[in-house]
């Protein structure tokens, strides 16, 4: 009878331990979801985007380059460089 009580108490400990593990996993999942919901808008604002990305909400593949001597802006792709133009067709140059 003593052995049965001992095995029952061991299985009882195992049961409560497994409940604790599930509670910890559930809490970790909840914290992860909350942090994801809170940090996603912040990380989206910190993305390296420019005006060429606004309409798509994803990276266009262009990089915005500025000539610091003239203040003129250029769009760079993997192998090309072209002047950045405004709506009227003029190159965008910011005064220094």
The pLDDT value given to residue 7: 52
Q: What is the spatial distance between Cα 4 and Cα 57, in angstroms, rounded to a whole number?
A: 65
The pLDDT value given to residue 53: 58
Q: Is 87's pLDDT higher than 60?
A: yes
Closest CA to 83 of 68, 96, 67, 61: 67
Place of tokens 């497994």: 18
Answer yes or no: pTM beyond 0.75.
Answer: no
The pLDDT value given to residue 2: 46
Strands (E), 4-96: 63-66, 73-76, 81-83
Q: What is the spatial distance between Cα 61 and Cα 53, in angstroms, rounded to a whole number?
A: 9
């Amino acid at each position: 009878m003593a052995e049965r009580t001992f095995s029952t108490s061991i299985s009882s400990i195992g049961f409560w331990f497994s409940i604790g593990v599930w509670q910890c996993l559930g809490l970790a999942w909840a914290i992860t979801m909350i942090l994801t919901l809170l940090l996603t808008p912040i990380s989206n604002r910190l993305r390296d985007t420019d005006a060429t990305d606004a309409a798509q909400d994803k990276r266009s593949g262009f990089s915005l380059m500025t000539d610091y001597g003239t203040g003129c802006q250029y769009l760079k792709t993997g192998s090309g460089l072209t002047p950045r133009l405004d709506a009227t067709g003029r190159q965008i140059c910011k005064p220094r």
